Amino acid sequence: METPKRRSVAPVYSMCVQPAFIIGTRNEDGTANFAPITWVSVTHEKGDGYLLVISMAGTKRTKQNVLRTGIFSANLVSTDMLPLMDYFGSRHAENGRKDEMEYSVSRGAVLDVPVLDQSRWVYECEVSRTVETGDSATFFCAIRNIQMDERLHCRDTFDVDLTVLDPVIYSGKYHSLGKLLGEIGDFL
């Protein structure tokens, strides 16, 4: 195994290997709005419950909608959805509806949230706690429903084959996933 040579640099980077989600919310008039958010993680609550943790900065409409309604969908972005992600991320809802690209939307199966039909993994979320840091809000959210691609056959919560989901991985640039390397314990 090669030992890398590192150098210290100023702490100006925020590099974390981030998942890519497009967040679906409802505007005040009930119409749907979508925007990419990659500051997303999970934590555990009690029992079997997981919380989705998601951070939104500034005054973007998506954040305002989540603060107002307390619910949203988190649509995992697969590589075939990159044009959509780029589009939603380069437009602000305050400048008009994001309807210059074609995409189809359904209502969540459990919550009244707009869901992207193209996504292979969708969380329907309800905010249970909000932490503010400067101009950012971090939402800890109960996952009320998961819609997963029918091609996935998960034996348990650790058995999710990401190659089926083909997720976009983000860290300032867009990447795709490499190959499946194994399971917990395979490298002991």
Binding stretches for ligand FMN (CB under 6 A): 33, 35-39, 55-57, 60-62, 89, 91-93, 170
Tokens read off for 43: 């934590």
Tell me the closest approach of the beta carbon of residue 107 to ligand FMN, in angstroms. Answer: 19
Q: Which is nearer to ligand FMN, 67 or 162 (CB)?
A: 67
Entry field: residues in the chain: 188
Nearer to ligand FMN, 36 or 167 (CB): 36
Query: What is residue 77's DSSP assignment?
Result: P
Q: Which residue is nearest to ligand FMN (CB)?
A: 89
Q: Which residue lies nearer to ligand FMN by CB, 42 or 152?
A: 42
If we measure between CA atoms, which residue out of 179, 183, 177, 35 comes closest to residue 114?
35
Q: How many CB atoms lie within 10 A of CB 104?
A: 8
Cα Rg of the chain, angstroms: 17
**Nearest CB to ligand FMN, comparing residues 61 and 107:** 61
**Closest CB 139 distance from ligand FMN, rounded Å:** 11
Contact 108, 124 (CB under 8 A): yes
For the bound state, the minimum distance from the C-beta of residue 153 to ligand FMN, rounded and expressed in Å, comes to 30
Helix, strand, or coil here: 24? strand
Shortest distance in whole angstroms from residue 173 CB to ligand FMN: 9
Residue with tokens 């056959």: 153
The residue (of 8 and 133) whose beta carbon lies closer to ligand FMN is 133
DSSP 3-state of 106: strand
Q: How far is the CB of 168 from ligand FMN (least distance, A)?
A: 8
